[in-house]
Amino acid sequence: MQLVLASTSPYRKALLEKLRLAFETAAPEIDERAHPGEAPSALVERLAVEKAKAVSGGYPDALIIGSDQVAVAGDKVLGKPGNHDKAHQQLRLLSGRRVVFMTGLCLLNSATGRVQADVVDYTVTFRTLTDQQIARYLELEQPFDSAGSFKSEGLGITLFAAMQGSDPNALIGLPLIRLTTMLAKEGWVLP
């Protein structure tokens, strides 16, 4: 059975490569906007499932992985900033705060239609950051395609005071511990 990552994210691809499995990537075309009143955890789980289903037509006998992530700081939901100004605003908001990163994960067996879906949380406490620190970080790393405006696998780790969660890969966007459990339920036992 083929393994497909329904994502073009280089970060998710690099994470999945850690498992040493052969896989393909496919770009899911979906509307990623939240529904009115949709809770962040429901949003990321729904989008993970929709991403997997969006590419399933091209892979009738595959295990398809979908994933999506948001950062939640208080009552604010943060996605990818897209540019320098929005990234600076996000990091200013996150400075000195606890932030929960919610990662939705889906494993779809396109042959049987079986869907496994879950949300894995990872909490980060940011150090208090000056505008100069934020500007320097953004100039060096340019994390405009990352939820929360940082890359924890790079220089972004210097922005944190503490990290808490069951799977540090969830912070980057693909919870490998939970994925390994899902794969085992489909007969793919690792290592």
Tokens read off for 63: 């295990």
What is the residue whose two structure tokens read 């894995």? 120
What is the residue whose two structure tokens read 């393909």? 24
Active site residue 68: yes
φ, ψ dihedrals at 162, nearest 5°? -160, 155
Alpha carbons 127 and 185: distance in angstroms, whole number? 40
Q: Identify which of 152, 82, 160, 176 has the alpha carbon closest to the alpha carbon of residue 127.
A: 160
Tokens read off for 69: 């992530």
Element (H, E) at 69: strand 62-73
Instruction: Report CA torsion sign: 14, 16, 22, 26.
Output: negative
Choose the catalytic residue: 31, 61, 68, 121: 68
Q: How many CB atoms lie within 10 A of CB 191?
A: 5
List residues with catalytic annotation.
68
